[in-house]
A = this chain, B = another copy of it.
Amino acid sequence: MSNTIEEIVREQARAAKEASRRLAVTSSAVKDAALRAMAEALEENAAKILEANAEDMAAAREKGTPRAMLDRLMLDEKRIHGMADGLRQTAMLPDPIGEGEMETIRPNGLEIRRVKVPIGVIGIIYEARPNVTADAAALCLKSGNAVLLRGGSEALQSNRAVSRVLVEAAEKAGMPKGALQFIDSASRDAVGVMMNLTGLLDVIIPRGGAGLIRRVVTESAVPVIETGAGICHTFVDEGADLDMALRIALNAKTSRPAVCNAMETILVHEGVAKEFLPKMAKAMREKDVELRGDEAARAAVPDMAAATEEDWATEYDDLILSVKVVKSLDEAIAHINRYNTGHSETIVTNDLNRAQRFQREVDAAAIYVNASTRFTDGFEFGFGAEIGISTQKLHARGPMGLNELTSTKYLIFGEGQIRS
């Protein structure tokens, strides 16, 4: 008699909820020791994990999986050490739980404090990369949250091996039983079940392609933190240092084109378009970037393909760049606010007033002046860790570290006060 996927997942969530109560009052010392034990266990069991990964890789190759995806799926000794290092680094970060956010004594004598507490149970739905299993577990557990992990079916053997090693090490080191749960099933229904676990899951963080994220945002009854969609822009202002603009544009587009903080569209002020665009086109093409421009951009670089309306709204995640010439800062801001996904935007300028207007009026998580959008990242921001980059405005916006995995509680001490 086998249980349905709904029963299995719901039971795991119930166990995670139960564990979350104990985890919320588990000391930093125990949590950190557990993370270090988990790191050691990963390294000790590397052979077993690599064996499981080899099965996933063989199945993926057989299915004709694209090389980029195979690369994300692949584990080796070095990547396992990387996962272990991530766990050890998370252990060294300060524990946010219990930190005071405000404190007040009211006229009636009530002492009110707001302190950070864990969110409770966090559901993570992710694709392809098995190292997310360790990274997400580390951040959730360190911040006192139980976690229910649902990885992609193509990485099932790898994720199963990694999660077994982690769960065993965590419980042996004194973490509450059930705090780390992995959904050991390739069934796509698991995602549907998770999205309806209101009362058991406190939040779902989807990490993966746009399709997955859209589905979870639209369908989930459990609150969702939307991450990772990035149509990022660079605006080259009139009077900008054009050498700097070129360095920033090249970095934003080509240093890692598949990530969410890479640039997709460059906007160039008409006053510098004729000088800047031919140089930029040459440099981008040397890096194999395909250019798609509006009419004015094509006037400056005649052999550029024509951009369509769809281009402005597309996250290429690839060596493609759309190019638009704008008449003014206002036009640049309006274009960005129309097409962006609220991730990262940058202006290259020497004009302080326009820099400030760009920062005030553009609606996004991170707004740069004279720097590459590629810096939007929990490590680059100094958080020491990152569970994802929120592109929504509620709860957390931008890179999410340990602080963003917390909620709050008001603790109030009285001496018998009643309300009149």
Tell me the A residues contacting B by CB distance below 8 Å: 21, 24-25, 104, 106, 110, 112, 114, 119-120, 198, 202-203, 217-218, 221, 223-225, 241, 244, 247-248, 250-252, 255, 337, 355, 359-361, 363-372, 374-376, 380-382, 392-395, 397-398, 407-420
For A203, what are the chain B residues with a Cβ–Cβ distance below 8 Å? Answer: 393-394
Min Cβ gap A45→B in Å is 33
Q: Quick one: which of B120, B255, B365, B419 contacts A410, CB cutoff 8 A?
A: B365
Q: Quick one: which of B251, B361, B397, B417 contacts A407, CB cutoff 8 A?
A: B397
For A364, what are the chain B residues with a Cβ–Cβ distance below 8 Å? Answer: 409
Q: Is the CB of A414 within 8 A of B120?
A: no
Which residue, A110, A368, A376, A418, has most C-beta atoms of chain B within 10 A? A418
Q: Is the CB of B412 within 8 A of A369?
A: yes
Q: Is the CB of B365 within 8 A of A104?
A: no
Which residue, A110, A369, A416, has most C-beta atoms of chain B within 10 A? A416
Residue of B nearest to A107 (CB): B382
Min Cβ gap A370→B in Å is 5
Q: Is the CB of B119 within 8 A of A394?
A: yes
Q: Is the CB of A382 within 8 A of B416?
A: no
Q: Is the CB of B381 within 8 A of A418?
A: no
Q: Quick one: which of B241, B251, B366, B380 contacts A106, CB cutoff 8 A?
A: B380
Q: Is the CB of A367 within 8 A of B217?
A: no
Distance of A420 Cα from B311 Cα, bound (Å): 27
Q: Is the CB of A247 within 8 A of B416?
A: yes
Copies per assembly? 2
For A415, what are the chain B residues with a Cβ–Cβ distance below 8 Å? Answer: 370-371
Q: Is the CB of B381 within 8 A of A112?
A: yes
For A244, what are the chain B residues with a Cβ–Cβ distance below 8 Å? Answer: 416
For A367, what are the chain B residues with a Cβ–Cβ distance below 8 Å? Answer: 409-412
Distance of A332 Cα from B361 Cα, bound (Å): 51
Give 7 A-B pairs besides A24-B363, A106-B381 with Cβ atoms closer than 8 angstroms: A104-B382, A217-B221, A218-B221, A225-B394, A370-B414, A370-B416, A394-B407
Q: Is the CB of B394 within 8 A of A410?
A: no
Residue of B nearest to A420 (CB): B255
For A372, what are the chain B residues with a Cβ–Cβ distance below 8 Å? Answer: 417-419
- Would you mind naming 17 contact pairs between A and B with Cβ atoms under 8 Å apart? A21-B361, A24-B363, A25-B361, A106-B381, A110-B371, A112-B382, A202-B394, A223-B223, A225-B394, A251-B419, A364-B409, A366-B412, A367-B409, A370-B417, A371-B413, A372-B418, A398-B408
Min Cβ gap A350→B in Å is 11
Min Cβ gap A224→B in Å is 7
| Known interface pairs A21-B361, A407-B397, A418-B248; A371-B221 also in contact (CB < 8 Å) | no
Q: Is the CB of B223 within 8 A of A392?
A: yes
Q: Is the CB of A419 within 8 A of B375?
A: yes
Distance of A376 Cα from B419 Cα, bound (Å): 10
Min Cβ gap A241→B in Å is 7
Distance of A26 Cα from B419 Cα, bound (Å): 38
Min Cβ gap A223→B in Å is 5
| Known interface pairs A251-B419, A412-B366, A418-B255; A393-B120 also in contact (CB < 8 Å) | yes
Min Cβ gap A48→B in Å is 35
